[in-house]
Amino acid sequence: MIGNRAGLSVYLHSLKFSKQLRRFGNVHYVSKKMKYAVIYCDGLKADEIADKLKSLHFVKDVRKSFKHELKTEYENKVPDKAKEYDYKMGI
C-alpha cells in the first residue's frame, strides 16, 4: 500500500501506450476522448516519476495534482443564528 500518494495527469499522443503507464503507478482513469490518464504513485517519488514520464516518446505533458495542498478544514462549523431562524419560519 502507498501511504503518501500523489496524483499525476499524463497527457498522451496515443492511447496505444496507455498500458505501459502501469510500470509507474496505479492507473486510475484513462480518457479516450481527451487522451490523458490519471495515475497514482508514491508521493516521495512523484517528481522522479514525472521526469521519467516526460522523457517517454508517447507522453505530451505531465502535471502533478495539487489536491494535497488544498485546505480541507473548515472554520465555521456552527450555523448562523439568523439563517437558522429563517429556516424555522419557512422563508
Q: Tell whether the torsion through CA atoms of 79, 81, 82 and 87 is positive or negative.
A: positive
What local confidence, expressed as pLDDT, does residue 90 receive? 59
Tell me if the pTM is above 0.85.
Answer: no
Give tens-digit pLDDT for 63-88. 999 887 888 777 766 666 666 666 66
Quote the cell numbers at residue 4.
Answer: 503518501
Q: Tell whether the torsion through CA atoms of 57, 9, 42 and 50 is positive or negative.
A: positive
Give tens-digit pLDDT for 34-64. 999 999 999 899 999 999 999 999 999 999 9
Q: Tell whether the torsion through CA atoms of 77, 82, 84 and 87 is positive or negative.
A: negative
Coil vs helix vs strand at 21: helix
